[in-house]
Amino acid sequence: MMSLTLAVKRLDALKRANMLAKNPDFKKLWRQKQRELIELLQAGNSYDELTGELL
């Protein structure tokens, strides 16, 4: 399971990316990524997309 600190950092980063994006497609992408992360956290089976390791 992902640590609370790491989860908060990732959610904050996605929120900032969404706020700073000028292109509506990127805004949509960052919102979708944020929803996906929340769903992973709620399911309790999150993993690092880059390494594939469970968090």
| Coil, helix or strand at residue 48 | coil
In whole angstroms, give the CA distance from residue 1 to residue 42: 10
Q: pTM here? A: 0.72
Q: Given this model, what pLDDT does residue 4 score? A: 78
pLDDT at 55: 57
Q: If DSSP codes are grouped into helix, strand and coil, which group holds residue 54?
A: strand
Burial class (CB in 10 A: 0-12, 13-18, 19+), 11: middle
C-beta atoms surrounding 14 within 10 Å: 20
Res 1: pLDDT:
57
Which pLDDT tens digit goes with each residue over 3-52?
778 888 999 999 999 999 999 999 999 999 999 888 888 887 656 665 56
pLDDT at 47: 61
Neighbours of 50 (CB within 10 A): 6
Tokens matching residue 4: 């609370």
